[in-house]
Structure 1
Amino acid sequence: MPDAAAADFIHSLFKPAHILVAISGGSDSIGLLVALAEQLKSFPSSNIALSAATIDHDLRSGSADEARDVAALCASLGVPHVVRRWEGEKPKSGIMAAAREARYGLLADIAAELSANVVVTAHTLDDQRETLAMRAARLNEGEGTAGTGIADAILFDRRLWIVRPFLACRRADIRAFLTQRGISWLDDPSNEDVRYERVRTRKRLAQDAAPSLAQDSGAARAALSTDAAAWLERYATVHAGVLCVISRDALAADEVVLSYALSYLAAVFGGGPYGPGRERMRRILDFIGEGEPGRRTAGGVVFDLRRDGLYLMRESRGIQPLVLASGADGIWDGRFWIANHGPASVRIEAAGVKGTAEFPEGLPKGAVQRARAVLPQMVADDGENAASAVIVPYLAPFDRFLTRFDLTFADRLSTCFGREPYVRPPL
C-alpha cells in the first residue's frame, strides 16, 4: 500500500537526505508526495527534507494551469515546490523520449539548486506490467534484447539517483488512498492517446480477465551484472579507450554471462546506448563458438577473433565529425566526452592514418592499426592541432542512464577505462 511503500523508502535512505518529488498532478505522483509527507510528519526528527518539482513540458494548452494547481497542493502540505518549463522547439518525432531527457535534466538541475540528493518518481506496478509487456512484444518480433522492467533506481548523468518507491503499488490503491483523504488529481489526456505504444498496451492489458502480477527480473539481472564484472576483471583489458583485448579462455564462459558482457562492450566501443539486437548478438556468439579466426561486425564494432583471443574496436565507417566552440563540450561519436578549453573552435574527427597512440608490444598490428584509426583527433580553426582540451572516455550505455542492477558491471568497466566508480545509491 502507498503508506507502507513510503515508510519503507524513508527507512531505507541514508541520512541526512533531501528528497525531491517529481510531481505532475496525476494520481500516482500526488499519491507519492502525500504519502511521503504524511510519513515524515510521523518522524519529525528523521533528518530528511522534502521538496517537490513540476516540469511543465509545454506540450498542450493548460499545462501551466495544472502546474499552478500542483503548487497549491504543495503549499497546503507545507512542501516547497518549484516549477520549471521545458523551453525551446520540440522535436517532430520521438517526442516522448525527448521529453524524458528534458524532464530528467531539469529535475537534476533543480536538485542541484536545492541540494537534494535523491529524486523520486511515481512509477507503479501498473507501469511495470506495461513495460514488461512491451519489451516482451518487441522480443517476440525479433527486436531488442532480453531485459528487465523498470528499475527501482537509476543513476542519471553520473550525478543523481532517481528512485521509484511505488513500483510495488497498484494505481487503484493509490487512488483509493487519495480518495480517503479527499484529494483529487488530474488526468493527462495523452494517457488516452492510442498513438503511443504504452497507451495501446495499457488498453490491451485492461481487457485481460485475469491479469498477472508483473514479475521483474531485477534481482537476476543484478546477479548477472556481478558475474559479468568478475569475468571482465579476469579476462579483459582496455587500451587507450579504443581497443579491448579479451583472452581466449574467456570465450568458454557461460553464454548468458558472455552475451551480457559482450553486448555492453559492443555498446561502449560502438558509442551507442544499446548493444546489438538479439539476432545480431546470436550471430556473434555463433561466430565465437566456432572458434575459427576471422572478423565480424555488429553495432558498429569489429569483433576480431584470433588464436590468442578476441579484439574489439570501433569500425571506421560512419564516424561523424564534431565542432566545438571555445569553452564548449560535447560527446564525439558516442565514445568520448571532449571539452574545448582553447581560444578557437575545434573540429574533432577520426584520426585515421594519423593515429599515434602507444599500445603495448605484442598486440596484433592489424588490430592496433584499426584502433588507432578511430581515436579522436582535434584540429583548430587555424589548422593547428588543438592541445587545450580535455578528453574522457564516455560509456554510452551507462553514463546517461544506469540502472542499479547493472551497477556492479558498470563500475568494473569504468575502472577498465581509467574512470572513477559511479556514484553510490542513496539507499
Structure 2
Amino acid sequence: MCKDPHGKAAAPIGDEELAGLFHDLKSYFPLTLAVSGGVDSMCLMHLVSRWIERQMHNADRQVQVVTVDHALRSGSTAEARLVARQAAALGLPHKILVWEGDKPATGLQQAARHARYGLIREYLAGQARKTGGGDMPALVSAHHLDDQAETVLMRLARGSGADGLGAMGRKVHAHGLVILRPLLEVPKARLLATARERDIAFMEDPSNANRDFERVRLREARNVLDELGLSSRALALSARRLARAARAIELAVDDLIARSDLKVHDCGYVSLQFAPFLHASEELRIRLMARVLRAMNGGTGRSGAPVNLEKLEDLVTALDSPDFSGATLQRCQILVGRQERLVVLRESGRDGLEARLLQPADSIIWDDRFCLSLSDHFDHALEVKALSGADWIELKRKYRDLEEAGISQRLAVTLPALWQEDRLLAVPALAAIVPNLAGPQVHGRPVINIKVSLLDDLPALSGSVK
C-alpha cells in the first residue's frame, strides 16, 4: 500500500479528478507528453489518455509522446521501448530521441537536462516547419508535489532569491518551449497508488538510489524534515506564494523592457537604452539582465538554466560605475555601444561555437539563437558553423557594404555561416546588408531560411534568477 509521509494510505487519482487536473491543457493543443518510463510520467501518459477519452470522446486527440534515451546505461533503450509499447496501446503517437555523442564526466544531470530539452525542442521545431505551425510548442511534464519540495530545499541551500524559492511553475517558458506541469499539486504517493490501481507498468531508474545526487539525499531525509514541519505540502505552499510575488515584480520588468527600447537584432544580439536601465531599481536591473543573458546563453550546456544571482549582482554593480568598460558573463559580452545603448553579444569562447549539419527539408536550432531551415529543393546537406576571423576579413574585402555597416569582428564571429564542403554558401543573418549572402534560390525563392530564435524566448523569460 502506498502511504503519504504521515503514514496514511494514499488514494489513487480517480476519473472524476481528471477534468480539474488537465483542464488548462485544452488551451495548448497540440500537446507533447515527456515520458521517461518512470512511474510519474507513465501515470501522466495514462491519465491524459483517459481524460481525452472521457472529455473529448477520442476526437482529434492532438497528443503525442516523446521519450529521450540518454544512452547513459544499458537498460535505457528497453525503457524507451516500454513507453513506445504503452503509448501504442493507448493510441498515442510516440517518438524516441537519442542523446548521442560523448557525455561529460561532471555535471551529468545538468548536461542531460539540457540535451533532453534541446532534442525535444528541435524535434518539435521540425514538426512545426512541416505542418506550418508557428506557436511555441507545448511540452507536458510529470513533475509533482514532492519534486517541487525538493527543488525548494535545494535552492534554499544555495541562497536563492524569490525566483529560485518560487521553484517550478505550472506553466513556464523555457528552452523554446511552453512547459506545463499539471501534476504539481499531486504527491508522489498518489501517483504510485494510481499506477498500482490501474496496473500501469513502469521502470525504476537506478539513479534514484544513488546518494551522489542531491535529490536522493533529500528524499532520505524526508522523515526528519516532516517532523520539523517541513513537509512537501508546506514547502510547495511557500513556493507558490513566493512565485506570486516574483510574478508581480516581473510585470515591472516588462515595463522596464518597454521603457528601455530593448531590441533583438537580426545578427543575434540584444541592445537597450542605457539611461532608463540605470535609473531603475537594482532588483529590476538584475532581472532584466537575467532575461537577456538566459536567452543569449546558447550552446554551452547551460541554456535555459537560471543565471547565478551573485554574479548578476556583481555585474549590475559594475554597470553603475562611470568607469564601466565592458564585462563578460554566461559566455556573453556586455558593453556600452553607440548612442548610449547597452549591448549584449554572444561570446565565441576558447572552444568556439558549435558546428552542425543541416539536411534538406530539415531545420535546426543553432547556438540556441538562430533557427535555420533548408528547403527540400536543395539536394545537399550543409555544414553550419560560425564565421572565423579570416572569413570575416575576406567577406569585408569582397563586400564593402559590410565595412560601412559597422559590424565588428567580435559580432561577426558569432554568426552562423553555411558551407558546402569548403565553399561558403551563405551568411543569412547578413542578407539584409548583402543580399548575395542569403544563399542560393530555386524558382526565385531562397532555399535557406533563418529566424532569430531568442525572439521566442526573451519576452517570456521571467523567473530567470535563481
In the superposition, the TM-score normalised over structure 2's length comes to: 0.65
Please name the residue that 1:417 is paired with: none
CA shift, 1:226, in A, is: 2.8
Which ranges of structure 1 fall in alignment gaps of 5 or more residues?
360-367, 411-427
**Alpha carbons of 1:356 and 1:121: their partners in 2 closer, same or farther (altered >3 Å)?**
same
Q: What is the distance in 1 between the residues matched to 2:93 and 2:83?
A: 9
The equivalent position to 2:254 in structure 1, one of 220, 229, 244, is 229
CA shift, 1:213, in A, is: 2.7
Higher mean alpha-carbon deviation, 316-325 vs 223-232, is at: 316-325
CA contact (8 A) 2:71 2:98 kept: yes
Please name the residue that 2:9 is paired with: none
Question: 1:4-43: CA deviations, max 9, x gaps?
Answer: 6632243223379454433334322233233334433432
Higher mean alpha-carbon deviation, 15-24 vs 29-38, is at: 15-24
Q: What is the distance in 2 between the residues matched to 1:101 and 1:171?
A: 24
Please name the residue that 1:80 is paired with: 92
Give matches, 1:258-269, under 5 Å.
258-268=285-295
Q: What is the distance in 2 between the residues matched to 1:321 and 1:311?
A: 23
Please name the residue that 1:393 is paired with: 452
CA RMSD of aligned residues (A): 4.6
CA contact (8 A) 2:152 2:235 kept: no
Q: Percent identity?
A: 24
The equivalent position to 1:213 in structure 2, one of 235, 238, 255, is 235
Higher mean alpha-carbon deviation, 183-192 vs 255-264, is at: 183-192
The equivalent position to 2:167 in structure 1, one of 115, 126, 149, is 149
**Alpha carbons of 1:167 and 1:407: their partners in 2 closer, same or farther (altered >3 Å)?**
farther
Please name the residue that 2:158 is paired with: 138
Q: What is the distance in 2 between the residues matched to 1:30 and 1:255?
A: 44
Please name the residue that 1:203 is paired with: 220
**Alpha carbons of 1:29 and 1:249: their partners in 2 closer, same or farther (altered >3 Å)?**
closer
CA contact (8 A) 1:264 1:275 kept: no
Q: What is the distance in 1 between the residues matched to 2:307 and 2:73?
A: 36
The equivalent position to 2:141 in structure 1, one of 121, 135, 142, is 121
Please name the residue that 1:163 is paired with: 180
**Alpha carbons of 1:370 and 1:16: their partners in 2 closer, same or farther (altered >3 Å)?**
closer
Q: What is the distance in 2 between the residues matched to 1:316 and 1:23?
A: 35
**Alpha carbons of 1:350 and 1:357: their partners in 2 closer, same or farther (altered >3 Å)?**
farther
Q: Say which SS state the counterpart of residue 276 (structure 2) adopts.
A: helix
Q: What is the distance in 2 between the residues matched to 1:173 and 1:69?
A: 22
Please name the residue that 2:443 is paired with: none
Which ranges of structure 2 fall in alignment gaps of 5 or more residues?
1-11, 397-401, 428-436, 440-447
Q: What is the distance in 1 between the residues matched to 2:450 and 2:323?
A: 34
Please name the residue that 1:26 is paired with: 38
CA shift, 1:247, in A, is: 3.7
Question: 1:197-230: CA deviations, max 9, x gaps?
Answer: 3222332345312323323344334333332122
**Alpha carbons of 1:207 and 1:376: their partners in 2 closer, same or farther (altered >3 Å)?**
same
CA contact (8 A) 1:2 1:31 kept: no
**Alpha carbons of 1:278 and 1:350: their partners in 2 closer, same or farther (altered >3 Å)?**
farther
Question: 1:257-289: CA deviations, max 9, x gaps?
Answer: 111002222445565735753233222322344
Q: Say which SS state the counterpart of residue 94 (structure 2) adopts.
A: strand
Question: 1:122-171: CA deviations, max 9, x gaps?
Answer: 1101111112222222336x9xx84642232345764x544211011100
> Is 1:257 aligned to 2:257, yes or no?
no
> Is 1:283 aligned to 2:311, yes or no?
no
Give matches, 1:310-349, under 5 Å.
311-314=342-345, 318=349, 320=352, 335-336=369-370, 348-349=386-387
**Alpha carbons of 1:370 and 1:235: their partners in 2 closer, same or farther (altered >3 Å)?**
farther
**Alpha carbons of 1:409 and 1:199: their partners in 2 closer, same or farther (altered >3 Å)?**
closer
Q: Say which SS state the counterpart of residue 158 (structure 2) adopts.
A: helix
CA shift, 1:310, in A, is: 5.0
Q: What is the distance in 1 between the residues matched to 2:425 and 2:197?
A: 70
The equivalent position to 1:356 in structure 2, one of 376, 399, 403, is 403
